């Protein structure tokens, strides 16, 4: 019989419209979940920030603001971590094709820093594909005291 | 809180006092429009006071960089004043500390132009 620690506890799992309002909402949802999971104010800010950036990418670059496409946001407590999954219905994302935002020649680029900051604020960030070909981004942060 | 921008002139330096959030959407476009308007009016010494900015997302960071480039391309200088710890940390993560001149003291910032 699995122990309680191994069973995921779903804190949030909804489909959001591809709008800036969803971006704002996702940050608040993530901060609320992080607070409930016991993170302190600074870590809660980091989690909210990372989720906001992930949902911006899903809304803007994945779903292209399409009214017909949704962003799935799932937040769970599982195996000693807070795990956030953001899925879009776009064409997928190739991280290797992205310019390095820290390269000298890219420092003055207007965009391309979101993933860098997500990685700085979370313990793990993985990028993959959904079964429909969209982007699935999974972020994890160890729970306080884990 | 959305972004509030006010400008004041001290000698030949224009100080932009920003308060609130610089994020994708209204906040970042308001900042962009303000800097472009100042440059179009011939202002070439711009000091952006971020002391009351509570949050900047990556889009907002992009607007700071874009503002820096816009002013530089016009032969001017854009510098930053009064970063909060969170904004300071973001500039460290993104290595933009190597791009921007940053000050904690307004008088010293003004004297640097």
Write out chain B in H/E/C secondary structure. CCCEEEEEEECCEEEEEEEEEECCCHHHHHHHHHHHHHHHCCCCEEEEEEEEEEEECHHHHHHHHHHHHHHHHCCCEEEEECCCHHHHHHHHHCCHHHCCCEECCHHHHHHCC
- Local confidence band at A145 (pLDDT 50, 70, 90 cut-offs): confident
Q: 63-102 in B: which are within 8 Å (CB) of A?
A: 63, 65-66, 68-69, 86, 90, 93-96, 98-99
The pLDDT of residue A82 is 98
**Superfamily (CATH H level) for B4-111:** STAS domain (3.30.750.24)
Return the domain boundaries, chain A: 14-98+127-142
The mean pLDDT value for A77-85 works out to 96
CA dihedral for B59, A90, A139, A119, sign (positive or negative): negative
Is the ipTM, as predicted for this complex, more than 0.90? Answer: yes
**Residues A6-61 pLDDT 10s:** 688 999 999 999 999 999 999 999 999 999 999 999 999 999 999 999 999 999 99
**Residues A115-144 pLDDT 10s:** 999 999 999 999 999 999 999 999 999 999
pTM recorded for the entire structure: 0.93
CB contact A72 to B (< 8 Å): no
The pLDDT of residue B28 is 84
| Topology annotation, domain A14-98+127-142 | Heat Shock Protein 90 (3.30.565)
Q: Do B96 and A107 touch (CB under 8 A)?
A: yes
Is the pLDDT reported for residue A4 higher than 70? no
Tell me the shortest Cα–Cα distance from B69 to chain A, in angstroms: 7
DSSP letter assigned to residue A114: H
A-chain CB neighbours of B85 within 8 Å are none
Q: Do B57 and A52 touch (CB under 8 A)?
A: yes
The mean pLDDT value for A74-94 works out to 95
Q: Do B65 and A109 touch (CB under 8 A)?
A: yes
- Local confidence band at A5 (pLDDT 50, 70, 90 cut-offs): low
The pLDDT of residue A2 is 46
Return the domain boundaries, chain B: 4-111
């Amino acid at each position: 019989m699995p122990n309680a620690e191994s069973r995921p506890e779903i804190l949030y799992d909804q489909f959001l419209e591809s709008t800036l309002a969803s971006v704002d909402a996702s940050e608040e949802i993530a901060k609320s979940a992080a607070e409930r999971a016991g993170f302190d104010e600074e870590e809660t800010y980091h989690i909210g920030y990372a989720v906001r950036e992930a949902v911006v990418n899903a809304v803007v670059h994945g779903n292209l603001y399409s009214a017909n496409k949704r962003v799935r946001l799932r937040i769970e407590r599982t195996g000693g971590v807070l795990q956030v999954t953001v899925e879009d219905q776009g064409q997928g994302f190739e991280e290797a094709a992205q310019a390095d935002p820290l390269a000298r020649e890219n420092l003055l680029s207007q965009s391309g820093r979101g993933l860098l900051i997500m990685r700085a604020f979370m313990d793990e960030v993985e990028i993959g594909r959904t079964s429909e070909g969209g982007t699935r981004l999974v972020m994890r942060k160890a729970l306080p005291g884990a | 809180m959305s972004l509030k921008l006010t400008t004041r002139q001290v000698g030949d330096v224009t100080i932009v006092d920003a308060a609130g959030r610089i994020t994708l959407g209204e906040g970042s476009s308001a900042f962009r429009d303000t800097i472009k308007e100042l440059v179009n009016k011939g202002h070439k010494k711009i000091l952006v006071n971020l002391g009351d900015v509570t949050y900047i997302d990556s889009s907002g960071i992009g607007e700071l960089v874009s503002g820096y480039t816009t002013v530089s391309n016009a032969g001017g200088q854009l510098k930053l004043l009064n970063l909060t710890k969170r904004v300071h940390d973001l500039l460290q993560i993104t290595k933009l500390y190597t791009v921007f001149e940053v000050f904690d003291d307004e008088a010293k910032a003004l004297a640097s132009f």
